[in-house]
Chain A
Amino acid sequence: MSVFDGFKFRKVSSPIHRLDPRVKFLYVCVTFTVAILFIQLIPLLLLFLIQLPMILAARVQREWMRSMKGSAFFAALIFVMNALSLYFYGSFDSVFSVIERSLAVTVRFLVLIASFSVFFLTTSPDHLGLALEQSGIPYDVCFAFTTAVRFVPVLAEEAQTIIDAQRARGLELEKGNFMSRVRKYIPILIPLIVSAIRRSLELAEAMESRAWGANPKRTSLYVLKIGRGDYYLLAASILMLAVSLYVWFYVPIPSLS
C-alpha cells in the first residue's frame, strides 16, 4: 500500500463524508492559516489534537494513519534540518528550546498533512467536481477534472499491463545504465500514449452520443445543500480562527523550556 492511499477517497458513510466540500475546504484553509500563524509547540499540538475527533468521526483512521506513516520520513527530515540549522545559526540559548522549536515546525507540517488527508479521504471526486461546478467554474473545466480523476486508476492499470507485456518479451527495465534505462521506457510509453489517444477518441464519441453541449444551461442532478452539520463546521472554523487571532494578539504563549 502506498502513501497515496492516505489521500485517496474512501467511501464510508459518516457525518464527515456528508459535509459540503466547500465548507470542508474552508475548514482546511482555516487550519492552514492557524498553523502558519503560530510557531510555538503548544498551540500547534492543540491544533493537531483537534483533527483527531474528525478523523474518528469519519472512520478513516486506518487510511489516515497511512498518510501519517508515509510522511514520517519527511517529518524526521524536517526535524533534523531545523534542529541543526537552529543549533548552529539560530540565537537560542539552550538545546532544549532548539528542540522545542524544531518539534513545533515538524508538528506544523504534520497538521497540514493531516488536514489535507482528511479532506481528500472524505470528499468524493464527484462531490469535489460538483463543488467546483457550483462555485461558478465552467462545466468543461469541472468535467475535465472529474474525468481525469476517473481515469487515473484505469491508466495506472493499463501501464502495468503494458509493462508486463513488454517484460514478457524480454525487456529488462532494471538493467543497464541511466541512459539505456530511459530508452527502455519507449516500448512502454508508445503503447500507453497510443492507447490514451484511442481512449480519448472513444470517450469523445460517447460524449457526443449523449447530447454533450445540447443545452448551454446544463442541469445538475445533485445540488449541494448546506445542512446543519455544515453550519456547525462553519461555526467551528470561524470560532477557531477568532480564538487563534485573539490568542495571537493578546495572550502570551508559554514555552515549555
Chain B
Amino acid sequence: MEIIKTENLTYTYPIGEKPAFSNVSITINKGEFVLLTGPSGCGKTTLCRCFNGLIPHFYNGTLEGKITVAGMDVTEHPIHEFAQHVGLVFQNPENQLFALSVEKDVAFALENLGLPREEIRRRVDWALEVTGITDLKDRAPYELSGGQQQRVAIASVLAMKPDVIVLDEPTSFLDPLSAKKIFDVIGGLNRELGITIILVEHRLDLAARYADRIIVMDEGKIILDGKPREVFSSEEARLVGVGIPRATRLYQILKGMGLDLGGVPITSEEASKMVREALTRRAPSKNPLGRREAGTQVLPAGKVGSKNVIEVEDVYYTYPNGVEALRGVSLKIREGEFVAIMGQNGAGKTTLVKHFNGLLKPTRGRVLIDGVETRGVSVARLARKVGFVFQNPDHQLFCETVEKEVAFALKNFGFDEETTRKRVDWALNILDLTEYRDVSPFMLSGGERKRVALASVLAWDPEVLILDEPTIGQDYRQKERLMNFIMQLNAQGKTVIIVTHDVEFVAECKPRVILMAEGKILADGDPHKVLTDLNLLERASLTPPEASQILEELKDVGVDGEAIDVYEVSRLIMERFKSGSGVENP
C-alpha cells in the first residue's frame, strides 16, 4: 500500500534560479525502509521537506506536479495535519529540541495536538521506552550528548505515532558508536512497529544493512532506485560518488583482481562470509589469480623532521565551570608529521588542540610551540605558526567577499599589501576558489564555505595546520578531495593535525593516531595498531574500520595480517589464495 506518491514533482525555492529538484516520480510503500542518498546539494533535503508540507506551506516557492501523502494532497492541507502522519527528524539535534526536559520535549507535539493528558502521558512513556531513553526523561537537552539528543528527537516524533519517519542525515554530528545506536533504533521502529522509514544518509557502511531500497539523487534528479545490492554494484553509483559500503568496494576490488565472490555483499559480515566460502569452494590453484595487482592507493608520505614543533608536558586543564577536560596529557609532535587526534565527544580532543595556538593555557604543566612556552605569548603570535580551522565555517565567515575573508588574517598579522595580494591569490587558487573571489561567502554551498574557511587559514602559510572535525557534514566526494588535499600538504612538509571521530577517514589517510578518552591519552601510534585494538576502541567509543571488521572474521581461515582499509584487506585475501593451501574446516 502506498503512503507517499509523487508524480513529476518539480520545486524551485523563492530565491532559486533553477529547480532544487525536477520531475521526481516515486512511490513509497507502507513499511519500506528507504535510504535516500546522493552528493551534497542534490536536492534530497528539499525533497524531504515536501513529505510533510514544509514545502510549499513554510517555504513558498513554486511546486509543480503532484504529491500525495497518506492519501492527502500536500498542497491542500496544513503542515500540522501531516505532522501526525510524517515525522521529520533533522540533522542538527540542538535545533529541534525546545523544552528544558526530555519528557516535556517528547510531549511537545502531543500537547500541540491537544490530546487528553492521560493519553499524552501514556504515549510519552511509550516513546521513551521504545527509543531507550526512559532514564533520561528528567534531564535537560543541553546536558545530553548528541546521540542522546537525536534519540529524544526521534522519540518526540514517534510519540505522534506517525506512519512515516523521515530522518535527514541524523548522524552527521555523531561518533560511529552513537550513529550505530541511532540506526539500531530506526531499524527497530521499521521492523517491529512497521513504520515506514526514509533515511537520508552518507554513511552507507552502517545504514545500508537496514534498507530495503536505495534511491540515489544527483543534480535534482533521481538517477537510481532499487535494491541495495543492485544499486551499489551499478556503474552509475560509483560515477556520482555515492559512498558505497566498503564491503561492496572490497567485492569490486577482488573482482578486478580476478576473484569473484559470486554475490554482492553490503555488510562486513556478508563480505567475510563470502570470502570464507570462496576459500573453501576453490581448490588451490597453481596459476596465481591476480590479473593485475591490487589498486593500491599510493599515499605520499610527508618527510618527518627531527625538530619537535609541539611539546605537551603533563598538561592539566580545568574549565572555569569546574569541568576537568585534560588530566595529565604528554605528547610530542615532530615537524612534518600527520597526526589524528581521536576519541568521542567530550574526550578532550578540542581542548587539547586549543592549547596548540594558545587559545587555552594549561592549568598545570606546559605546552611548547617550537620550543617556546605558550604561557605569556599572545594567541596572535602563536597563530602565525599554528593555523586552526574550526569545525563550522559559519563561526568565522563574516566578510562581503571571499577575497576579503581570505585576506582578513593577513591584515591582522600585518602583511603588506603586495604580499597579501599574492597570498590570497595563491590560497584561492589551490583551493579552487578563484571564480568565487568577489562572491559573498554566505551565497556559497556548505562544502564551498568549508573551503573558504580553510583558505583563510592556509593563506598565511602556518607551519602547523589543525583541522577540527573536517569531515562532518561532508559527502563522499568532498571527503575524498579533502583527504587528497591534506595528504598533499603533508607531503610538502606541513605538519597536519586533524581532530576527528571519523574512523574510516583516518583508516584511509593512515596518520599517527592519538586516542583520547576522559581527558587522557589512551594510545598513541600506528593506525594499524590503534584502530584494530578492540579494547582500546571501546574505551574511546569508537568502532573499528569496516575493513578490519571483515578481516577479523577471516583470521581463523588463515587470512592474517594488519589491515584497516579495503585495499589492504584485498591484498591479504589474495595472498591467502595464492599461498595455495585449501581450508579444511571452514
Contact = CB atoms under 8 A, between A and B. Distances in A.
Interface of A: 1, 11, 124-126, 129, 143, 146-147, 149-150, 153-154, 158, 161-162, 164-172, 186-187, 190-191, 194-195, 198-199, 202-223
Nearest to B57: A208
B586 interface: no
B54 A208 contact: yes
Given A126-B101, A195-B395, A167 B379 contact: yes
Contacts of B58: 204-205, 208
A213 B112 contact: yes
B107 A172 contact: no
Interface string B446-460: 000000000011001
A211 B394 contact: no
Contacts of A191: 394-398
A210 B442 contact: no
Determine the main DSSP class of B at the interface with A.
helix
A195 B504 CA distance: 30
Interface stretch (B87-95, B198-206, B283-291, B308-316): B87-95
Given A161-B395, A191-B394, A194-B394, A210 B112 contact: yes
Contacts of A217: 114
B322 A161 contact: no
Contact of B378 (A11, A146, A172): A172
A168 B383 contact: yes
A169 B120 contact: no
Q: How large is the interface on B (under 10, 10 to 19, 20 to 34, 35 or more residues)?
A: 35 or more
Contacts of B436: none
B445 to A, nearest CB: 14
Contacts of B49: 205
Contact of A172 (B57, B384, B412, B457): B412
Contacts of A205: 49, 54, 58, 88, 90
Given A168-B359, A172-B380, A198 B98 contact: no
Main secondary structure of the interface of A (DSSP, over half): helix
Interface of B: 49, 52, 54, 57-58, 79-81, 83-84, 87-88, 90, 92, 94-101, 103-104, 107-117, 120-121, 124, 138, 140-142, 156-157, 160, 320-322, 354, 357, 359, 378-380, 383-384, 387-388, 390, 392, 394-398, 408-409, 412-413, 442, 456-457, 460
B100 A149 contact: yes
B112 A170 contact: no
Nearest to A192: B395
Given A194-B442, A221-B120, A125 B100 contact: yes
B112 A211 contact: yes
29 contacts: A124-B100, A126-B101, A146-B100, A150-B141, A168-B383, A168-B457, A169-B457, A172-B412, A191-B397, A194-B398, A194-B442, A198-B394, A202-B96, A205-B54, A208-B57, A208-B80, A209-B87, A210-B109, A210-B157, A211-B113, A212-B80, A214-B112, A215-B114, A217-B114, A219-B110, A219-B116, A220-B111, A221-B107, A221-B117
Given A150-B98, A162-B395, A219-B114, A168 B390 contact: yes
A147 B97 CA distance: 9
